[in-house]
């Protein structure tokens, strides 16, 4: 198979922050960065059909190796033409390796140097995942970007446990690299190391020596404070090669996305827009709105006056009514609005980096979100739904 050139063109960097504007080439088209990938766990971004999904501005989506290997099984997906043909999404797709789900969803996960063994959360079946198997599944799925299998530890853990998992993550990354056979699939390595700056830099440096086409920062947004996460990014991002894309896994709130862009992150994925949309929470530049709140009952305004999404053709009162009446259109419309919101946010960041105004963009967005997000941390009702795996 001919080797595709997964080039990352760094088109500009911000002067006041570490924000970067780039273009990442994939066999299914370019991805303009910073970019946000909606999560399509089971080969679908929940509740959003393909045409409205494209209309949100999403360029690349994420599929879950763990879920798709259990159901319908990667061989079924391969027989039906791979994940692109199977799902109908003809743009770029990234698949995770299953590492995160192995240690969050699966039951009784046991790790040896050779592999992880666990019971399926669906039917309790005993399943084995090795680095080579994670590569083989993702090659059967045929994603544009595959992730290496990493050993994720539940925190808090002793320094010995964290160090042991970190060394295994490095050895497993090397095994994944050796196992890869597809020239049209890029493999990204994953930096682990908890919140310890030295371990993060060590892991990033070791992985950079292996020369992967891209690097992810994993193991964040798992219960640490935003300040701790940003401090971790401050040391990890500069330790990664400048000319390769950087992907922050599973993050986050709009604030987290903007703060991570300011620290040099290029790619994001998170279930926040869709999971919160299903729970009647809409993201806006004035902070999140909880539509079940009675104050929206007779509100004639759209969620956002300048949003082009189909939800914003309706009033907040109507959208609230859909949720109160248990109509499936409510979760669908709010999911579309929220994914559109994240896409407009990263598009705004790209434009601001190009124009040299990212610092102002960041300050303006943070000021708009400040009040409700402060409330979310305390007793206010307009909070975010907690993030789950």
Cα distances (Å, whole numbers) of residue 220 to 123, 155, 203, 373: 29, 11, 15, 19
Rule CB under 5 A: choose which of 261, 272, 312, 376 binds Zn ion.
Answer: 312
Nearer residue to Zn ion within complex by CB, 320 or 337: 337
* CA–CA distances in Å: residue 344 to residues 93, 154, 340: 20, 34, 6
270 with 251: CB under 8 angstroms?
yes
269 noted as active-site residue: yes
Out of 14, 96, 256, 266, the active site residue is 96
Out of 123, 144, 269, 306, the active site residue is 269
Given the complex with Zn ion, which of 120 and 279 has the nearer CB atom?
A: 279
ω into residue 156 within 30 of 0, thus cis?
yes
Which of positions 187-216 make contact with Zn ion (CB under 5 A)?
none
By the rule CB under 5 A, 353 interacts with Zn ion:
no
Nearest distance from C-beta of residue 309 to Zn ion, angstroms:
3
- Only one of the segments 162-170, 185-193, 215-223, 307-315 lies at the binding site for Zn ion (rule: CB under 5 A); that segment is 307-315
Min dist. Cβ of residue 304 to Zn ion (A): 6
Using CB under 5 A, pick the residue from 31, 307, 333, 334 that binds Zn ion: 307
Shortest Cβ 284–Zn ion spacing (Å): 9
Q: How far is the CB of 54 from Zn ion (least distance, A)?
A: 15
Q: Does 309 interact with Zn ion (rule: CB under 5 A)?
A: yes
Locate tokens 């124009």: which residue? Answer: 355
Judged by CB under 5 A, which stretch of 104-112, 115-123, 292-300, 304-312 contacts Zn ion?
304-312
Task: For CA atoms 139, 140, 143, 148, give the dihedral sign.
Answer: negative
For 157-174, give the DSSP string.
Answer: --HHHHHHHHHHHHHHHH
Instruction: Verify binding: residue 237, Zn ion, rule CB under 5 A.
Output: no
Choose between 140 and 282: whose C-beta lies nearer to Zn ion: 282
**How far apart (Å, rounded) are the C-alpha atoms in residues 116 and 65?**
14
Rounded to a whole number of angstroms, the minimum distance from the CB of residue 324 to Zn ion is: 20
**Least Cβ distance, residue 310 to Zn ion (angstroms):** 8
| Alpha helix (H) residue ranges in 210-328 | 226-236, 254-262, 272-278, 316-324
Of residues 152 and 312, the one with the C-beta less far from Zn ion = 312
Please say whether the dihedral angle defined by the alpha carbons of residues 219, 223, 226 and 232, taken in this order, is positive or negative.
Answer: negative
Considering only 21, 168, 337, 350, the residue that binds Zn ion (CB under 5 A) is 337
Map residue 61 onto helix, strand or coil: strand
**Can you say how many angstroms the Cα of residue 35 is from the centroid of all Cα atoms in its chain?**
10
262 binds Zn ion (CB under 5 A): no
Residue number, 43 or 277, with CB nearest to Zn ion: 277
Query: Given the rule CB under 5 A, which of 6-14, 152-160, 288-296, 300-308 is the region that contacts Zn ion?
Result: 300-308
Considering beta carbons, is residue 53 or 127 the nearer one to Zn ion?
A: 53
Nearer to Zn ion by C-beta: 20 or 337? 337
Contacts of 172-177 with C-beta under 8 Å, sequence gap 24+, read: 172/131, 172/148, 173/131, 173/148, 173/207, 173/210, 173/212, 174/210, 175/130, 175/131, 175/132, 176/97, 176/131, 176/132, 176/134, 176/135, 176/148, 176/149, 177/148, 177/210, 177/212
311 lines the binding site for Zn ion (CB under 5 A): yes
Residue number with CB closer to Zn ion (342 or 361): 342
Nearest-Å Rg of the Cα atoms of the chain is 20
- Site size toward Zn ion (CB under 5 A) is 5
Distance CA 149, CA 37 (A): 20
Shortest distance, CB of residue 56 to Zn ion, whole angstroms?
Answer: 9
In angstroms, give the least distance from the CB of 17 to Zn ion. 28
Strand partners, 9: 23
* Residues at the contact surface with Zn ion, assessed by CB under 5 A: 307, 309, 311-312, 337
| Residues designated catalytic | 96, 269
């Amino acid at each position: 198979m001919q080797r595709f050139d997964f080039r990352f063109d760094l088109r500009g960097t911000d002067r006041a922050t570490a924000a970067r504007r780039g273009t990442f080439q994939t066999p299914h088209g370019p991805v303009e960065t910073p970019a946000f990938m909606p999560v399509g766990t089971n080969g679908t971004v929940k509740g959003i059909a393909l045409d409205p999904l494209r209309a949100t501005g999403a360029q690349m989506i994420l599929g879950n190796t763990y879920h798709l290997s259990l159901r319908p099984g990667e061989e079924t997906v391969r027989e039906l033409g791979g994940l692109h043909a199977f799902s109908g999404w003809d743009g770029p797709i990234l698949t995770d390796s299953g590492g995160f789900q192995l240690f969050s969803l699966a039951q009784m996960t046991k790790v040896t140097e050779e592999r992880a063994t666990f019971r399926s959360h669906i039917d309790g079946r005993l399943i084995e995942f090795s680095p080579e198997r994670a590569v083989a599944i993702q090659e059967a799925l045929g994603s544009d970007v595959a992730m290496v299998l990493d050993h994720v530890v539940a925190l808090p853990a002793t320094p010995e446990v964290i160090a042991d998992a970190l060394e295994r993550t490095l050895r497993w990354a090397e095994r994944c690299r050796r196992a890869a056979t597809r020239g049209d699939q890029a493999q990204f390595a994953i930096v682990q190391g908890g919140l310890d700056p030295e371990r993060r830099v060590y892991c990033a440096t070791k992985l950079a020596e292996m020369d992967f086409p891209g690097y992810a920062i994993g193991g964040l947004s798992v219960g640490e404070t935003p300040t701790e996460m940003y401090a971790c990014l401050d040391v990890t991002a500069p330790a990664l090669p400048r000319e390769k894309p950087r992907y922050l896994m599973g993050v986050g709130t709009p604030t987290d996305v903007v703060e991570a862009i300011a620290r040099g992150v290029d790619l994001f994925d998170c279930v926040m827009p869709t999971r919160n949309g299903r729970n009647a929470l809409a993201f806006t530049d004035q902070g999140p709105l909880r539509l079940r709140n009675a104050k929206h009952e007779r509100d004639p305004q759209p969620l956002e006056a300048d949003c082009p999404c189909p939800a914003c053709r309706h009033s907040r009162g109507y959208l609230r009514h859909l949720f109160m009446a248990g109509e499936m259109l409510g979760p669908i419309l709010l999911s579309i609005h929220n994914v559109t919101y994240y896409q407009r946010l990263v598009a705004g960041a790209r434009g601001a980096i190009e124009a040299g105004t990212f610092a102002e963009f960041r300050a303006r967005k943070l000021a708009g979100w400040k009040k409700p997000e402060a409330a979310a941390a305390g007793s206010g009702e307009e909070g975010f739904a907690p993030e789950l795996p």
